Structure 1
Amino acid sequence: MHSNRLGWILLAPTLVILFFFGVLPFVYVVFVSFHSWNPFAANPEMIFNGADNFRKIVFDAEFLNSVGVTVTFVFFAVVSELIVGYFLAQAFMKEFPGKAIFRTIHTLPLIMAPIIVGSVWKLMMTPSIGIIPHYLNEWFGLSVNIGTSSFAAFATIVVMDIWHWTPLVTLTLIAALVSLPQDPFEQAQIDGANKRQIFFHITVPMIAPAVVATVFIRLMDALRTVDEVWMLTGGGPGSATRFVGVHIFREVFPKTNYGYGSTISVIVLYLTIVACWLLYVTMLAPRNTKKD
């Protein structure tokens, strides 16, 4: 009994901070989502409009387009980061000259703020002064302008996100691979299993929890990407890179439509929870059932 009380006492500061900076803001956003509110209008008071904001979302072409763009971005970015991160993790498991230096350089993007990442890539992709368009034109004869090409803008954001967050995936998978017991691998080799069979039947199932946790983190981060995209393309050209986060930003700040912006935020949170739940059911639930 005494140990339980001590545990709650130690958790109390964290719970208080979580309540004031997590629960209360969420409740307030949900409350605002049922109102029409422009604090800078002639009438700055909240006007209750029931579920009108939620009905409006269903017919909001810009929002629906932003969801499609975001889902496409999340798929290409997260899948690429998992693949590249796994191969880098396997490479770092081996010894090679300059490993410590390369590993340090590899993790440097993680310490950079997203808005700084967007600014740096903006400079590198500017046609007149950017190093990337210069060498693409000089080496391959390609003229790249993210201000006019929708494909170039979207592809650049995907590559930028891979560059920024692959080190996180690599570090997570290194921790998972290092913790694996060697007995199953040695037994599989004795039984004549090849590398592909060992990978799919031993390595993947054993690191599945780490992979799912990593995907959860990257999925939630990717769905709310704003800073880098705003600095790099501003959501353009057109609506090619207008992700959900950028759409919310445009609704809340330039348009000062706080009620509708809050509604979109609630819907995006719901979609994120559903996506994470589906991922868990697909990848981990069957595995846990087999164990039982």
Structure 2
Amino acid sequence: MQSKTLGWILLAPTMIILFFFGVLPFIYVVWVSFHQWNPFAADPSMIFNGADNYRHVVFDPAFLASLGVTVLFVFFAVLTEVILGYVLAQAFMKDFPGKAIFRTIHTLPLIMAPIIVGSVWKLMTTPSIGIIPHFLKAWIGFDLNIGQSALAAFVVTVVMDVWHWTPLVTLTLIAALVSLPADPFEQAQIDGAGKRQIFWHITLPMIAPALIATVFIRLMDALRIVDEVLMLTGGGPGSATRYVGVHIFREVFPRTNYGYGSAISVVVLYLTIVVCWLLYTGLLAPRNPKKG
């Protein structure tokens, strides 16, 4: 009994902080989403409009377009990060010259703020001074201009996100690989299993919990990307990189449409929860054997 009381006492500060900085803001956003509100208008009062904001979200072509391009961004970015992160994790499991230095350099992007990442990539991709357009022009004769090419802007945002967050995936998978027991791998090698069979039937199932948890984290982060894209492309050219987070930012701040922006935020949160739930139930949740 005393241990339970002590546990609640130790958890109380965290729960209080989460309530004030997590639950209350969410409730307030939901409340605002049912209103038409411009706090900078001549009449800054809230006007209750029921579910009109949510009806607008469903039929808003700008939001649907931003949602579509966001899904593509999340798919390519997260998939690339998981594959590249696993390859690097396997490489770091072996000893090679300069391993410690390379691991340190590889982890450096994680300590950079997103706004700084966007600024760095903005400098590197500016046609007149950027190192990336310079080498692409010198090596393969390709003129990179993310201000004019929608495809180039999309690809560069994906590459930027991969550069920024692959180290997180690598570190997570290294921890998962280090914790694996050696007996199943030794037994598989004795039985004549190849590397591909060992990966699919032993390694992948054993690291699945850590892998899915990492995908969840990256999925939620990628869906709400704002800072880097605003600094790099501003959501352009056109609406090529106007991801959902950037779309919400445009609605709330330049257009001061707080009610509609709040409704979009709630819808995106709901979609994120649904996607994570589907991934969990489809890939990680235990399956009970059918009886009878």
Give the TM-score taking structure 1 as reference length: 0.98
| Displacement of 1:97 | 0.3
Which residue is 2:139 aligned to?
139
Following the alignment from structure 1 to structure 2, what is the Cα–Cα distance between the partners of residues 137 and 288? 53
Following the alignment from structure 1 to structure 2, what is the Cα–Cα distance between the partners of residues 267 and 42? 29
1:207 and 2:174 correspond:
no
Which residue is 2:69 aligned to?
69
| Residues 9-32 of structure 1 deviation map (CA, whole Å, 9 limit, x = unaligned) | 110000000000000000000000
| Displacement of 1:171 | 0.1
Which residue is 1:190 aligned to?
190
Following the alignment from structure 2 to structure 1, what is the Cα–Cα distance between the partners of residues 3 and 198? 45
Amino acid at match of 2:92: F
Aligned-residue CA RMSD (Å): 1.0
Mapping 1:1-292, distance limit 5 Å: 1-285=1-285, 287-289=286-288
Amino acid at match of 1:112: M
Structure 2 spans left out of the alignment, 5+ residues: none
| Displacement of 1:288 | 4.8
Following the alignment from structure 1 to structure 2, what is the Cα–Cα distance between the partners of residues 283 and 75? 17
Following the alignment from structure 1 to structure 2, what is the Cα–Cα distance between the partners of residues 190 and 5? 52
| Displacement of 1:190 | 1.1
Aligned-partner SS, 2:215: helix
Following the alignment from structure 1 to structure 2, what is the Cα–Cα distance between the partners of residues 210 and 145? 38
Following the alignment from structure 2 to structure 1, what is the Cα–Cα distance between the partners of residues 58 and 158? 27
Following the alignment from structure 1 to structure 2, what is the Cα–Cα distance between the partners of residues 176 and 6? 32
Give the TM-score taking structure 2 as reference length: 0.98
| Residues 18-48 of structure 1 deviation map (CA, whole Å, 9 limit, x = unaligned) | 0000000000000000000000111100000
Following the alignment from structure 1 to structure 2, what is the Cα–Cα distance between the partners of residues 27 and 112? 31
**Where in structure 1 do 4 or more consecutive aligned residues deviate above 3 Å?**
287-290
Aligned-partner SS, 1:115: helix
| Residues 166-191 of structure 1 deviation map (CA, whole Å, 9 limit, x = unaligned) | 00000000000000001111111111
Amino acid at match of 1:84: L
| Displacement of 1:58 | 1.3
Amino acid at match of 2:42: A
Amino acid at match of 1:78: V
| Residues 96-151 of structure 1 deviation map (CA, whole Å, 9 limit, x = unaligned) | 00000000000000000000000000000000000000110011000110000000
Following the alignment from structure 1 to structure 2, what is the Cα–Cα distance between the partners of residues 238 and 282? 37
| Displacement of 1:289 | 3.5
Amino acid at match of 2:41: A
| Residues 202-228 of structure 1 deviation map (CA, whole Å, 9 limit, x = unaligned) | 000000000000000000000000000
Following the alignment from structure 1 to structure 2, what is the Cα–Cα distance between the partners of residues 185 and 10? 41
Count of matched residue positions in the alignment of Structure 1 and Structure 2: 290
Residue identity over aligned pairs, in percent, reads 79
Stretch moving more, 232-241 or 184-193: 184-193
User: Per the alignment, do residues 171 and 289 of structure 1 end up closer, same or farther by CA in structure 2, a change over 3 Å counting?
Assistant: farther
Following the alignment from structure 1 to structure 2, what is the Cα–Cα distance between the partners of residues 2 and 138? 71
